[in-house]
A and B are shown apart, each in its own frame.
Chain A
Amino acid sequence: MPTLTMVLNGHQTSVEVEAGDLLVDVLRDRLQLIGTKIGCGEGECGACTVLVDGLAVTSCIYPALKADGCHVTTIEGLKTDGKLHAIQEAFIQCTAAQCGYCTPGMIMSAYALLSENPDPTVEEIKTSVSGNLCRCTGYYQIVEAIQLAARKLADEGADS
């Protein structure tokens, strides 16, 4: 069996996988990282979004071995020192989750955006999450939360 070696949420991780295994199944079933969700299994809904070397990918159609040697970040990797990430705090403040099933993927897409573009326009925010389907919220509070997160991150940056 081939071995997948990656830096997962900051930790060097090795796991034996089958050649055809998908990243989402390795994360969920082998590594018990259940925060990454499966909504469609065909890369259409974005619930399984994780970051591979900073890029948001749909892990339900992403071959696990393609992440070999990469930095992989999942929703479980956003907290630092037990403190929620600014995007997570902003989602709470804006009531930007209802059923919550799309939320981890949505937050990971927002995280990818804000890592690249700390001061996005509303249109850029919408584009960044346009691959993440949500059936509950109508998206307005999500867009608002990402705007708020950008401001929070700017303030954090200014403070440090």
Chain B
Amino acid sequence: MNASVVGRSVQRVDIRTKVQGQRKYPQDFHMEGMLHAAVVWSAHPHARITSIDTSRAEACAGVVKVLTHLDVPVNEYGINILDQQVLCEDRVRWLGDRVAVVVAETEAVAREAAAVVSVEYDPLPILDDPRESMKPGSPLVHENRESNVLVHYPIRAGDLDAGFSKADVIVEGYYLTPHVEHAYLQPEAGLGYIDDEGRVTVICATQWAYDDVHQIAHALDLPEDRVREIVPAIGGAFGGREDVSLQILVALGAFHTRRPVKMVWTREESFRGHGKRHPFFMRYKHGATRDGTLVALEAEIVADAGAYASTSTVVISNAVTFAAGPYVVPNARIDGYAVYTNNAVTMAMRGFGATQMPVGYECQMDKLAEALGMDPVELRLKNLYEEGSIAVTGNAVTFGIGAKEPLREAALAAGWREEAGHWKAPEVEPALQPHLRRGLGVACGYKNVGYSMGFEDRSEAIVELRLREDGAIASALVRIAASEVGQGVSTVLAQIAAETLGIPFERVRMSLVDTARAPDAGSSSASRHTYMSGNAVFMACQDALQARDDTLREETGRMHAQGQAVFRGRTARATTPLDPETGQCEPHIAYTFATQIALVEVDTETGEVEILTMWDSTNSGRAINPAMVFGQVAGGIHMGVGYALTERFIQEEGRIKTRGFGEYYIPTVLDMPRELVHVGVEVPNPTGPYGATGIGETTTLPTAPAILNAIHNAIGKWVYRLPADSETVWRALHERRRPA
């Protein structure tokens, strides 16, 4: 038996080609006779289309075809609700809507011709604030609906009035989180063609190839087995590649021209053409007794859904289940609304509704600690879930949750001491200059792993073994359509396969993600692949070993054995939808918990915030690959730092003012915490493969509230809206009264 592969920081399976620039991303593919396509984007955030004239574009030399709504067999799509038109016929609702696609011999010609497609519009009122557009009588984004409120999810637990009447202290707050751009480095690109078996085939970067196939087939009115998607290297995703972007467009181009059609978006088009993280307007009210026990919570969340539903209904149902944070609160009233506007569509982004909530509940916890004169770590530990605690949705939170361990570990690492049952924060060493002030801030966060609230979660894997004469395994091929977006899923699954088969890691190969060759693993989202697909690969390996043993026993002489398995999340825990009146349900399969503590230095003259040290403790369950766990932590913190301090996606009346990295600032290496201290916690999840769980999203949850709490600790002022850029912090320093 070889040394254990699980738990070792083995070399990533994709890294050797990546450091040589050899790995191909969608924009790197070329085909003989290939055409190029360019989008004609909506010119208005909200308007009726009165005419579309393609004649000038069609007359351009080199133009092969101009596609409009007339060329789309079934002109509708959408990941959950079919409320988007592939190419708009009569109405546009945001600047990311597409009206036409020009297919030409060169990209330059396609773009030039796209500029002369003449579309006339009759502008409609622009709705850019969900708090306004949710009011009765507001103009409608979708004319066939009664209201712009896409969905309202209530949660009712216990007796709210009785809870607040027991409270000795009540704290309130209003918190605003902004649109966030995924800002993956690889802009959208795709190549559509007809493969040798006559299938409409798309090469592109996606989080879920099978769902793309489903949507492409629907729009093209083809059986799903006549559509194929191949996923090469993906340059980051973070939720932004969960919805289709240009997949249907290049498929449509190839379908009509019968030639390969390539489309590559510029950075500006990428910013325009895919959705963002939902802005949340969150009103919070917490009540606690003098000893710090939470007794009541009232929360209202209004989320900007943008122009189309995308996954907003599920993002908001997720958000309300996390509104109380990882704390036991017996009496709660929570309301979440997703509201249509003419702003950018909002969609999945690292956390899926769980990322906004800690900005509210964790700032509330620090306000409460201050009001009670209690240490913020102690207050949190007093209320944090334990194995089996009951959430506001009425379910018991279980499966080796390890909720308290990360807080303890991070606090101890940052210098907290526990003395006689009380926690004591370390003295913060003062800054070297008087205009600089330092502060420490704590925040916890938690999130689901796997699809939630009754949505079927399944992952399927096939493992093929090549055998030697003596029956030993020469090599294994794992076939599974799990998108490697950079998070390391291919390596994790290869490690699980090697461990389960008992062969060296180097003898496992991962097949390409290709719907013609690999079974459906579900999406690279919900931090789910390590858990879901890890279980599927584990089971498929066991099945393959059984097949190998059968082959040997029966002396068939076969040199191959194959295993196949489906892991269903419901076999670990069956989830249920929110009760429409009370929200009571079994929301999630499994959970991941994290804590981060920030030490910041605020320049009181400029409002600039520098993060000196960030301590992280995330419970990963068994860490399959510790170096990649650290990579997820550091990457999550990167995104959290941008969320907290630098990233401002600006729209004015539905028009996008941030068009690239020169205007939208994702943190550079110089903006990151000078020091990152990661303390791993590995409380095993008994239902995960080798005790592992998913961590991709939770690592970004505590970052922003930890920074906000640290800013407050440094300057004594609350910043209640993100990003806390220098102007926002400067204004907080100079404000005369508290904002409403």
Contact = CB atoms under 8 A, between A and B. Distances in A.
Contacts of A95: 9, 11-12, 15, 627-628, 630-631
Interface in A70-116: 74-76, 78-79, 84, 88, 91-95, 97-104, 107
A35 B20 contact: yes
Contacts of B627: 94-95, 141
Interface in B237-262: 237-238
Contact of A139 (B185, B639, B669): B669
Interface string B23-35: 1110110000000
A142 interface: yes
Given A92-B19, A99-B236, A133 B185 contact: yes
A97 B12 contact: yes
A130 B669 contact: yes
Interface string B180-208: 00111111000000000000000000000
Given A95-B631, A133-B666, A103 B672 contact: no
Contact of B267 (A36, A37, A41, A143): A41
B231 to A, nearest CB: 13
A98 B635 contact: yes
Contacts of A130: 668-670
A140 B631 CA distance: 8
Contacts of B634: 137-141
Sort chain B's interface into a size bin. Answer: 35 or more
Contacts of B662: 40, 42, 44
B186 A140 contact: no
A97 B18 contact: yes
B506 to A, nearest CB: 14
Nearest to B17: A100
Interface of A is mostly: loop
B80 interface: no
B599 to A, nearest CB: 16
Interface of B is mostly: loop
Contacts of B670: 126-127, 130
B490 to A, nearest CB: 12
B267 A42 contact: yes
B630 to A, nearest CB: 7
Given A135-B183, A138-B637, A141-B634, A101 B235 contact: yes
Nearest to B9: A95
A107 B631 contact: no
Given A39-B185, A92-B11, A139-B672, A101 B21 contact: no
Contacts of B734: none
Contacts of B183: 135
A23 B234 CA distance: 24
A36 to B, nearest CB: 7
Interface in B474-501: 485-488
Contact of A100 (B15, B187, B639): B15
A45 B185 contact: yes
A154 interface: no
Contact of A104 (B21, B488, B666, B672): B21
A95 B266 CA distance: 29
Contact of B660 (A35, A44, A91): A44
Interface in B1-56: 9, 11-12, 14-16, 18-25, 27-28
B19 A91 contact: yes
Contacts of B23: 100
A28 B29 CA distance: 11
Contacts of A137: 631, 634-635, 638
Nearest to B487: A98
B676 interface: yes
A129 B635 contact: no
A47 B267 CA distance: 12
Given A126-B669, A136-B486, A84 B236 contact: no
Given A39-B186, A127-B670, A103 B19 contact: yes
Interface in B588-635: 627-628, 630-631, 633-635
A120 B542 CA distance: 50
B233 interface: yes
A84 B20 contact: yes
Interface string A1-45: 000000000000000000000000000100001111111111011
A117 B235 CA distance: 30
A36 B12 contact: no
Residue among A37, A84, A134, A140 with most chain B CB within 10 A: A140
A135 B184 contact: yes
Residue among A34, A100, A102 with most chain B CB within 10 A: A100
A103 to B, nearest CB: 5
B185 A101 contact: yes
Contacts of A100: 14-15, 18-19, 23, 233, 235, 486
A95 B9 CA distance: 9
Given A95-B9, A101-B25, A134 B185 contact: yes
Residue among B186, B488, B639 with most chain A CB within 10 A: B186
Contacts of A45: 185, 267, 661
Interface string B659-685: 011100010111010001000000000
A39 B638 CA distance: 18
Contacts of B186: 37, 39, 99, 101
17 contacts: A39-B185, A40-B662, A42-B267, A74-B21, A88-B19, A94-B627, A95-B12, A97-B12, A135-B185, A135-B639, A136-B631, A138-B633, A138-B638, A138-B672, A139-B634, A140-B672, A142-B669
Given A41-B267, A100-B18, A132-B669, 10 more contacts: A34-B24, A84-B16, A95-B630, A100-B233, A100-B486, A103-B19, A134-B638, A137-B631, A140-B634, A141-B634
Interface of A: 28, 33-42, 44-45, 47, 74-76, 78-79, 84, 88, 91-95, 97-104, 107, 126-127, 129-143
CB-CB nearest 10 A-B residue pairs: A35-B21, A138-B634, A99-B486, A100-B18, A101-B235, A75-B21, A98-B486, A44-B661, A138-B638, A104-B21
